Amino acid sequence: MSASDTAAGHVEQMLRQVTPGRYDAYEALLRTLATPSTGQVWMLLWHGQAGAPDAQYGHMEVGGHGYAPCVTSAQELSASGWMRSYEVVDGLDVARTLYPDHFGLWLNPHAPGGGVGIPWLDLRRIASGLDRQPAGPLRLSEPALEIPQFYALLTQTAHHTPALRSLRRTWVQPAVGSPYLAIGLDVYDTSPAAVDSVRSMMQQSMAAVPDGLPVSTVVMSDEYDPVVMWLRANARPFYDREAHGGAGQVAAGGYGYPPAGGH
Protein backbone atom coordinates (compact mmCIF):
# COMPACT_ATOMS: atom_id res chain seq x y z
CA MET A 1 0.00 0.00 0.00
CA SER A 2 1.42 3.40 -1.01
CA ALA A 3 1.70 6.44 1.27
CA SER A 4 -1.08 8.18 -0.66
CA ASP A 5 -3.34 5.13 -0.24
CA THR A 6 -2.71 5.21 3.51
CA ALA A 7 -3.49 8.93 3.65
CA ALA A 8 -6.67 8.35 1.69
CA GLY A 9 -7.72 5.72 4.20
CA HIS A 10 -7.44 8.19 7.08
CA VAL A 11 -9.33 10.96 5.29
CA GLU A 12 -12.12 8.67 4.12
CA GLN A 13 -12.47 7.07 7.54
CA MET A 14 -13.01 10.52 9.10
CA LEU A 15 -15.23 11.64 6.24
CA ARG A 16 -17.65 8.75 6.76
CA GLN A 17 -18.28 9.90 10.34
CA VAL A 18 -19.23 13.48 9.45
CA THR A 19 -22.97 14.11 9.66
CA PRO A 20 -24.98 17.32 10.30
CA GLY A 21 -24.43 18.45 13.87
CA ARG A 22 -21.46 16.13 14.49
CA TYR A 23 -18.93 18.90 15.02
CA ASP A 24 -16.63 16.55 16.91
CA ALA A 25 -16.38 14.31 13.83
CA TYR A 26 -15.92 17.36 11.60
CA GLU A 27 -13.07 18.59 13.81
CA ALA A 28 -11.47 15.16 13.56
CA LEU A 29 -11.65 15.42 9.77
CA LEU A 30 -9.97 18.84 9.90
CA ARG A 31 -7.18 17.44 12.10
CA THR A 32 -6.62 14.64 9.60
CA LEU A 33 -6.41 17.08 6.70
CA ALA A 34 -4.01 19.29 8.67
CA THR A 35 -1.55 16.42 9.16
CA PRO A 36 0.79 15.92 6.17
CA SER A 37 1.11 12.18 6.77
CA THR A 38 -2.68 11.63 6.67
CA GLY A 39 -4.24 14.58 4.85
CA GLN A 40 -3.59 14.11 1.14
CA VAL A 41 -6.33 14.94 -1.36
CA TRP A 42 -6.63 14.60 -5.13
CA MET A 43 -7.23 18.13 -6.46
CA LEU A 44 -9.17 18.26 -9.73
CA LEU A 45 -7.50 20.51 -12.30
CA TRP A 46 -9.81 22.37 -14.65
CA HIS A 47 -6.87 23.66 -16.68
CA GLY A 48 -3.24 22.59 -17.13
CA GLN A 49 -1.23 19.71 -15.75
CA ALA A 50 -0.01 18.93 -12.25
CA GLY A 51 3.01 21.06 -11.37
CA ALA A 52 2.61 23.36 -14.38
CA PRO A 53 2.54 27.12 -13.74
CA ASP A 54 -0.79 27.47 -15.58
CA ALA A 55 -2.52 24.70 -13.62
CA GLN A 56 -5.88 25.80 -12.20
CA TYR A 57 -8.08 24.04 -9.68
CA GLY A 58 -11.69 23.39 -10.52
CA HIS A 59 -14.39 25.68 -9.16
CA MET A 60 -17.85 25.11 -7.78
CA GLU A 61 -20.27 27.40 -5.95
CA VAL A 62 -22.52 26.30 -3.10
CA GLY A 63 -24.80 28.74 -1.30
CA GLY A 64 -22.96 31.70 -2.80
CA HIS A 65 -19.57 30.47 -1.54
CA GLY A 66 -16.73 29.29 -3.79
CA TYR A 67 -15.08 25.88 -3.34
CA ALA A 68 -12.37 23.92 -5.12
CA PRO A 69 -13.50 20.30 -5.64
CA CYS A 70 -11.29 17.35 -4.78
CA VAL A 71 -11.54 13.61 -4.19
CA THR A 72 -10.07 11.59 -1.37
CA SER A 73 -8.47 8.62 -3.16
CA ALA A 74 -7.61 7.10 -6.52
CA GLN A 75 -10.74 4.99 -6.20
CA GLU A 76 -12.92 8.06 -5.70
CA LEU A 77 -11.18 9.73 -8.64
CA SER A 78 -12.23 6.81 -10.84
CA ALA A 79 -15.76 6.87 -9.42
CA SER A 80 -16.07 10.61 -10.09
CA GLY A 81 -15.55 10.18 -13.83
CA TRP A 82 -13.09 13.08 -13.92
CA MET A 83 -11.30 13.00 -17.27
CA ARG A 84 -8.92 15.94 -16.89
CA SER A 85 -5.69 16.17 -14.93
CA TYR A 86 -5.32 16.17 -11.15
CA GLU A 87 -2.61 16.50 -8.54
CA VAL A 88 -2.15 14.85 -5.15
CA VAL A 89 -1.50 17.51 -2.50
CA ASP A 90 -1.33 17.72 1.29
CA GLY A 91 -4.46 19.26 2.79
CA LEU A 92 -2.27 21.73 4.68
CA ASP A 93 -0.80 23.08 1.43
CA VAL A 94 -4.23 23.28 -0.20
CA ALA A 95 -5.57 25.21 2.79
CA ARG A 96 -2.73 27.74 2.57
CA THR A 97 -3.41 28.20 -1.15
CA LEU A 98 -7.20 28.55 -1.04
CA TYR A 99 -8.20 30.49 2.06
CA PRO A 100 -6.62 33.88 1.17
CA ASP A 101 -8.95 34.00 -1.86
CA HIS A 102 -11.95 33.04 0.31
CA PHE A 103 -12.21 29.63 -1.35
CA GLY A 104 -13.22 26.50 0.51
CA LEU A 105 -12.52 22.85 -0.27
CA TRP A 106 -15.24 20.35 -1.25
CA LEU A 107 -14.51 16.67 -0.69
CA ASN A 108 -16.04 14.10 -3.06
CA PRO A 109 -18.82 16.23 -4.59
CA HIS A 110 -19.75 13.25 -6.79
CA ALA A 111 -20.55 11.01 -3.80
CA PRO A 112 -24.12 10.17 -2.71
CA GLY A 113 -25.33 13.08 -0.62
CA GLY A 114 -22.96 15.50 -2.33
CA GLY A 115 -19.84 15.10 -0.21
CA VAL A 116 -18.58 17.49 2.48
CA GLY A 117 -17.67 21.16 2.11
CA ILE A 118 -15.02 22.87 4.23
CA PRO A 119 -15.48 26.68 4.31
CA TRP A 120 -12.44 28.91 3.78
CA LEU A 121 -12.59 29.97 7.43
CA ASP A 122 -11.80 26.40 8.45
CA LEU A 123 -9.06 26.16 5.82
CA ARG A 124 -7.55 29.21 7.55
CA ARG A 125 -7.69 27.30 10.83
CA ILE A 126 -5.89 24.38 9.18
CA ALA A 127 -3.27 26.73 7.71
CA SER A 128 -2.59 28.64 10.92
CA GLY A 129 -3.12 25.87 13.48
CA LEU A 130 -6.48 24.42 14.52
CA ASP A 131 -5.90 25.04 18.22
CA ARG A 132 -5.15 28.72 17.60
CA GLN A 133 -8.59 29.51 16.14
CA PRO A 134 -12.07 28.80 17.58
CA ALA A 135 -14.13 26.06 15.95
CA GLY A 136 -16.95 27.43 13.82
CA PRO A 137 -19.61 28.18 13.02
CA LEU A 138 -19.36 30.77 15.78
CA ARG A 139 -22.16 32.39 17.76
CA LEU A 140 -21.15 35.95 18.62
CA SER A 141 -23.00 38.53 20.68
CA GLU A 142 -22.51 41.53 22.91
CA PRO A 143 -21.22 40.24 26.29
CA ALA A 144 -23.82 40.15 29.06
CA LEU A 145 -21.16 39.75 31.77
CA GLU A 146 -21.12 42.30 34.59
CA ILE A 147 -17.37 42.84 35.02
CA PRO A 148 -17.03 46.61 35.46
CA GLN A 149 -13.70 46.34 37.32
CA PHE A 150 -12.05 44.62 34.35
CA TYR A 151 -13.42 47.06 31.79
CA ALA A 152 -12.47 50.04 34.00
CA LEU A 153 -8.89 48.80 34.44
CA LEU A 154 -8.61 47.90 30.76
CA THR A 155 -9.85 51.35 29.73
CA GLN A 156 -7.45 53.02 32.15
CA THR A 157 -4.43 51.09 30.91
CA ALA A 158 -5.53 51.60 27.30
CA HIS A 159 -5.54 55.36 27.86
CA HIS A 160 -1.88 55.12 28.86
CA THR A 161 -0.97 52.95 25.84
CA PRO A 162 -0.45 55.36 22.91
CA ALA A 163 -0.18 52.53 20.35
CA LEU A 164 -3.83 51.59 20.96
CA ARG A 165 -6.63 53.33 19.06
CA SER A 166 -9.72 51.50 20.35
CA LEU A 167 -11.14 48.41 22.05
CA ARG A 168 -14.17 46.29 21.17
CA ARG A 169 -15.64 43.20 22.77
CA THR A 170 -17.78 40.16 21.99
CA TRP A 171 -18.88 36.93 23.61
CA VAL A 172 -17.76 33.97 21.47
CA GLN A 173 -19.43 30.57 21.58
CA PRO A 174 -17.51 28.09 19.38
CA ALA A 175 -19.15 25.02 17.88
CA VAL A 176 -16.70 22.91 19.92
CA GLY A 177 -15.08 24.14 23.13
CA SER A 178 -15.88 26.63 25.89
CA PRO A 179 -17.23 30.15 25.31
CA TYR A 180 -14.97 33.10 26.03
CA LEU A 181 -14.73 36.87 26.02
CA ALA A 182 -12.83 38.30 23.03
CA ILE A 183 -11.28 41.76 23.06
CA GLY A 184 -10.64 43.42 19.70
CA LEU A 185 -7.45 45.50 19.63
CA ASP A 186 -7.25 48.33 17.09
CA VAL A 187 -3.68 49.62 17.02
CA TYR A 188 -1.99 52.51 15.23
CA ASP A 189 1.06 50.46 14.26
CA THR A 190 2.47 46.96 14.61
CA SER A 191 6.08 47.74 15.42
CA PRO A 192 7.69 45.48 18.07
CA ALA A 193 7.58 48.27 20.64
CA ALA A 194 3.89 48.93 19.97
CA VAL A 195 3.02 45.22 20.16
CA ASP A 196 4.91 44.89 23.46
CA SER A 197 3.09 47.88 24.94
CA VAL A 198 -0.33 46.46 24.01
CA ARG A 199 0.64 43.04 25.36
CA SER A 200 1.70 44.68 28.62
CA MET A 201 -1.61 46.57 28.74
CA MET A 202 -3.56 43.31 28.51
CA GLN A 203 -1.38 41.58 31.10
CA GLN A 204 -1.95 44.40 33.60
CA SER A 205 -5.69 44.38 32.98
CA MET A 206 -6.04 40.61 33.36
CA ALA A 207 -5.55 41.07 37.10
CA ALA A 208 -9.19 42.21 37.27
CA VAL A 209 -10.64 39.26 35.33
CA PRO A 210 -12.82 37.00 37.53
CA ASP A 211 -11.45 33.51 38.16
CA GLY A 212 -12.45 31.02 35.50
CA LEU A 213 -13.36 33.55 32.81
CA PRO A 214 -11.42 32.88 29.59
CA VAL A 215 -10.33 36.04 27.77
CA SER A 216 -8.73 36.19 24.33
CA THR A 217 -7.66 38.97 22.01
CA VAL A 218 -7.90 39.58 18.27
CA VAL A 219 -6.16 42.23 16.20
CA MET A 220 -8.66 44.34 14.26
CA SER A 221 -6.39 44.52 11.22
CA ASP A 222 -6.81 40.76 10.59
CA GLU A 223 -9.13 40.70 7.57
CA TYR A 224 -9.58 36.91 7.72
CA ASP A 225 -10.64 36.48 11.35
CA PRO A 226 -14.41 35.84 11.75
CA VAL A 227 -14.43 37.44 15.22
CA VAL A 228 -12.84 40.59 13.78
CA MET A 229 -15.35 40.55 10.91
CA TRP A 230 -18.21 40.49 13.42
CA LEU A 231 -16.69 43.19 15.60
CA ARG A 232 -16.26 45.54 12.65
CA ALA A 233 -19.86 45.07 11.56
CA ASN A 234 -21.64 44.95 14.91
CA ALA A 235 -19.68 46.32 17.87
CA ARG A 236 -18.89 49.91 18.65
CA PRO A 237 -15.70 50.53 20.62
CA PHE A 238 -16.13 50.63 24.39
CA TYR A 239 -12.88 52.57 24.44
CA ASP A 240 -11.98 54.95 21.63
CA ARG A 241 -9.00 57.26 21.97
CA GLU A 242 -10.38 59.60 19.33
CA ALA A 243 -14.11 59.54 20.11
CA HIS A 244 -15.66 57.45 22.88
CA GLY A 245 -18.45 55.09 21.67
CA GLY A 246 -21.23 53.10 23.28
CA ALA A 247 -21.99 49.41 23.50
CA GLY A 248 -22.21 47.12 20.51
CA GLN A 249 -25.24 45.47 19.00
CA VAL A 250 -26.33 41.86 19.16
CA ALA A 251 -26.07 39.84 15.95
CA ALA A 252 -27.25 36.42 14.86
CA GLY A 253 -25.00 33.40 15.21
CA GLY A 254 -22.93 31.70 12.56
CA TYR A 255 -21.20 34.82 11.29
CA GLY A 256 -18.68 34.17 8.54
CA TYR A 257 -19.90 30.65 7.78
CA PRO A 258 -22.41 29.27 5.28
CA PRO A 259 -25.84 28.30 6.60
CA ALA A 260 -26.22 25.07 8.57
CA GLY A 261 -25.63 22.02 6.40
CA GLY A 262 -22.62 23.53 4.63
CA HIS A 263 -20.32 20.89 6.12
In this prediction the pTM is 0.80
Q: How much is the pLDDT for 124?
A: 96
Residue 8 lies in a domain: yes
Do residue 107 and residue 157 come from a single domain? no
- Report yes or no on 246 lying in a domain: no
- Does residue 245 surpass a pLDDT of 50? no
Please identify, among 80, 108, 132, the residue that sits at the C-terminal boundary of a domain: 132
Encode pLDDT of 211-231 as tens digits. 999 999 999 999 999 999 999
For the chain, what is the domain count?
A: 2
Give 200's pLDDT tier (boundaries 50, 70, 90).
very high
Give me the domain span that covers residue 96.
3-132
Residues 108 and 8 in one domain: yes
Give the percent of the chain with pLDDT over 90: 74
CA distances from 99 to 118, 119, 135, 252 (A): 10, 9, 16, 24
Are 105 and 144 in a shared domain?
no
How much is the average pLDDT of 103-127?
Answer: 95
What pLDDT sits at residue 20?
86
Q: How many CA atoms lie within 13 A of 19 on its CB side?
A: 2
Q: Are residues 56 and 175 in the same domain?
A: no
Is the domain of 90 the same as that of 211? no
CB 153 within 8 A of CB 204: yes
Q: Is residue 255 part of a domain?
A: no
* Whether residue 164 sits in one domain with residue 124: no
pLDDT per residue over 34-73, tens digit each? 998 889 999 999 988 888 888 899 999 999 999 999 999 9
With 80 as the cut, is the pLDDT of residue 251 above it? no
Q: What is the CATH number of the domain that holds 175?
A: 3.30.70
In a domain, 257, yes or no: no
Would 193 be classed as within a structural domain? yes
